[in-house]
Chains A and B, each alone.
Chain A
Amino acid sequence: MPAVFTETAATRRKRLTERLAQGLFGLMALSLVVPLVTIVVYLFVQAWPLLSWDFLTSNPTNGMRQGGIWSAFLGTIYLVTVSLCVSAPIGVLAAVYLNEYAEDNWLTRMINLAVVNLAGVPSIVHALFGLGAFVLFAGIGRSIIAASLTLAIMTLPVIIASTKESLASVPRSFREACWNVGATRWQTIRRIVLPNSISGILTGVILQVSRTAGETAPVMFTGAVFFKKIPEGDVFAYSLTDQCMALSMHLYTVTTQVTNAPHALPYAIAVALLGTVLVVNALSIGTRVYLRSRKKW
């Protein structure tokens, strides 16, 4: 064997370092799974006695101590849907403008700065803003619409940021090729940029569902109530100007305000919240895989 291929002390050290690094990083990555699994298993075990279809579809009774979570579950669905209906189109279109049309000038830089800063504002501040702007100033009053708008403002910057990132992942050479053959910016966006970034855009939007569903502070000030009875099984039970219950706030009140609630109740609410989020995330992953499989380069 030529001398270059024999192992010396230095190369052995390199090889061991390499293995150590790989092992360490792998361990860290693996450790991410541990809390997730622990939480899910723990919640399910604790919540098990209460989990049933009835729990989901019946209103709370007896001062929250009995019955189910129907009005809170439906309230959360309403809040999430309405807020996404507002934030997704505005966020995506604004991101398309910022990434595809905007020139690099002070105005664009200011907008980008505003987006970044808005993303860093704590949710309690959004809550106070929503209370001031929508509930009081605009006179909408505490309602699903006011709460959803507050949530929309909160998710908007994140949607803009994730959409911009997806758009930027489409190589510039594709755009140049389109411009060179006389396509307008819009034709380029419509035919090439959007079809190839849509999976990332959708993922970014759908991930905001979990955030919206989980937030307590913004809805507590702007539209969520302690208790509300609605017709069971009717998915159109709320109107947009109603106040509603929300799972996140329900969990909070049951844990902190209600005495003698069954031990399993908060865990069951948490399972419902987590379940909703996980179902939506699974849908998002499915969509992503499907759209990725059609990605074309």
Chain B
Amino acid sequence: MVEPKPKKIEVSNLRLSYGKKEVIHGISFDVQQSEIFAIIGPAQSAKTSLLKCINRTLDFVAGAKVSGVIKVDGQDVSRMKNVYELRRKIGMVAPLPVGLPLSIYDNVAFAPRAAGMRSKAALDVLVERCLTQAALWDEVKDRLDSLGTKLSGGQQQRLTIARALSHSPDVLCLDEFSIAIDPVTTMRIEDVLKELREKITIILVTNLVQQARRLADRTMFLWNGEIVELGTNDVIFSDHPANRQTYEYVNGIFG
């Protein structure tokens, strides 16, 4: 058993409903500092909604109601006045790549500029660093002025990751990032994640059970808005996880 690390995100008794329909039924868990925390589960198990609760972009969803407490670095997110700082602290990568209709350079420089960074030299350094981290720099370094939306799907997804890293987040949330990209690119990004693990906390929402097995330190199996099981990978992916359903899901017997 690994020694418990400090808690980065603490979720307690989180409930979420859209209108009258409750989709998260009071879940509690912690994400530790510098771990890869995987969330697996079938579609409609509120994985994406959970991420939106954490960075409070759920504020933009009409009719969504949250109760319970989410703490990031010990601070209750629902009481934060500066949600923009919270969102910068949490990098978010959506399932489908979204290149903003800007140049590649501006895509990556968007967040730092929005946060008030103006120095061209500092931005240059940052853009190169983020694109390098996202394993995209070599492919685009000669055409930073061309449109981010014109890149291929896999490149756009790495651009999205570069953008998520551009505001130097402590936590990186990836929501089924490999859904629209090929296996080779996926492996390249997974290598990137393994490097990033040293510095930041990574929450990996994935439909690919094997991806969670490859990358994560701990895995949470979420089903219909409830935690079926949460544990270290050597338990979850063993022959005897605590819950029979977990075994069946990760081994493809159901789900």
Contacts and interface: CB of A to CB of B under 8 A. Distances in A.
Contacts of A104: 62-63
B94 A179 contact: no
A178 B55 contact: no
Contacts of A260: none
A183 interface: yes
B180 interface: no
A195 B111 CA distance: 17
B114 A181 contact: yes
A178 B114 CA distance: 9
Interface residues of A, number: 22
B101 A187 contact: no
Given A176-B94, A177-B160, A181-B91, 15 more contacts: A104-B63, A173-B98, A175-B60, A177-B163, A179-B87, A180-B57, A180-B92, A181-B88, A182-B114, A183-B84, A183-B110, A183-B114, A187-B114, A191-B102, A192-B101
Contacts of A196: 101
B115 interface: yes
Interface string A230-262: 000000000000000000000000000000000
B166 interface: yes
6 contacts: A178-B114, A180-B57, A180-B94, A183-B111, A196-B101, A296-B147
Interface of A: 103-104, 173-184, 187, 191-192, 195-196, 295-297
B32 to A, nearest CB: 23
Nearest to A183: B114
Contacts of A103: 62
Interface in B73-118: 84-88, 91-92, 94, 96, 98-102, 110-111, 114-115
A42 to B, nearest CB: 45
A176 B97 CA distance: 12
Given A173-B94, A184-B84, A296-B147, A178 B101 contact: no
Contacts of A191: 102, 110, 114
A226 to B, nearest CB: 53
Nearest to B96: A173
B100 A295 contact: no
Contacts of B185: none
A184 B114 contact: yes
B166 to A, nearest CB: 7
A281 B43 CA distance: 50
A296 B149 contact: yes
A182 B116 CA distance: 11
Interface of B: 55, 57, 60, 62-63, 84-88, 91-92, 94, 96, 98-102, 110-111, 114-115, 147, 149, 160, 163-164, 166-167
A103 B57 CA distance: 15
B59 to A, nearest CB: 9
A190 to B, nearest CB: 10
Given A174-B98, A191-B110, A297-B149, A182 B115 contact: yes
Nearest to B160: A177
A196 to B, nearest CB: 6
Contacts of A180: 55, 57, 87, 92, 94, 164
A181 B172 CA distance: 11
A187 B114 CA distance: 7
Given A104-B62, A183-B114, A184-B114, A296 B167 contact: no
A177 B94 contact: yes
B163 A181 contact: yes
A192 B100 CA distance: 8
Nearest to B59: A179
| Chain A CB within 10 Å, residue with most, of B91, B110, B164 | B110
B40 to A, nearest CB: 22
Nearest to A185: B60
Contact of B101 (A176, A179, A183, A295): A295
B234 to A, nearest CB: 33
B93 to A, nearest CB: 8
Contact of B98 (A176, A183, A295): A176
A181 B87 contact: yes
Contacts of A195: 101
A195 to B, nearest CB: 8
B82 to A, nearest CB: 9
B102 A181 contact: no
Contacts of A183: 84, 110-111, 114
